[in-house]
Structure 1
């Protein structure tokens, strides 16, 4: 029996804060992990830094530009067919207009209500690190 190699994907993601709320994005029905909520972002290109990737992906997916406030610890998650390394950044958004090109929906959520959404499993450690960041605890 052949052992299938698990591919690891590096992904940058944005925890966008505005007026005390956090932006969550719902994956479309055609994406992997359909209808799960996530922090927007995307896959790093070869030789691309996580912060450059994040800025590029947010322009492509949401039509927005951000300022990175802080980098949170990277986290690893393994699904059954692939593994993911998430590189999260706390950001602020320039302007108010968001244009969805890939996601089904977005929602501005109070941080205390983030856990009420049905998140992609890989976002669990990102959420934990974000809550630690907000309370000033070490990650």
Structure 2
């Protein structure tokens, strides 16, 4: 089993950051909540801080556990651990993605997400909307 962390990053307006996998990567063209593989002995929230700095050059503050989704891609078992996070600073520079967007939870279903992320899309989409949505 591969443990992966995903960040549901919100900006000051309550919008959520999503990113599209670039060509040549597994699941190219699909959208996801950014994150990455958890290294041996690493906590999920520390992984997210590291991965977002490496992959997008931004600082985030993971502040609350959101959920876990076990998903099988053929013989590969992924455990995706999601945290809510605040965008802190930095200008987004993409390395593993070819596009990103800040969207409301209501807009999530308009995008094709990687299968392991779909559970979190559904959870966010069905949650009570914020005043600014």
For 2:112 and 2:40, locate their aligned partners in 1 and report how far apart those are by CA, in whole Å: 31
Instruction: Give 1:76's aligned residue.
Output: 70
Q: Residue 70 of structure 2 contacts residue 116 of structure 2 at CA under 8 Å; is this kept in 1?
A: yes
Q: Deviations over 1:58-111 (max 9, x none)?
A: 000000111123111211111114121111011111125111111111011111
Instruction: State TM-score, norm by structure 1.
Output: 0.85
Structure 1, unpaired ranges of 5+: 1-7
Match of 1:15? Answer: 8
Residue from 51, 54, 78 that aligns with 2:45 = 51
CA distance in 1 between partners of 2:108 and 2:4 (Å): 20
Q: Which runs of 5+ in 2 are unaligned?
A: none
Runs of 4+ residues over 6 Å off in structure 1: none
CA distance, structure 2, for counterparts of residue 81 and residue 106 of structure 1: 29
1:118 and 2:105 matched: no
TM-score norm. by structure 2 comes to 0.89
Task: Say if 1:96 and 1:46 are closer, same or farther in 2 by CA, change over 3 A.
Answer: closer
Q: 2:54 aligns with which of 54, 60, 63?
A: 60
Give me the CA root mean square deviation. 1.6
Name the SS of the counterpart of 1:129 in structure 2: helix
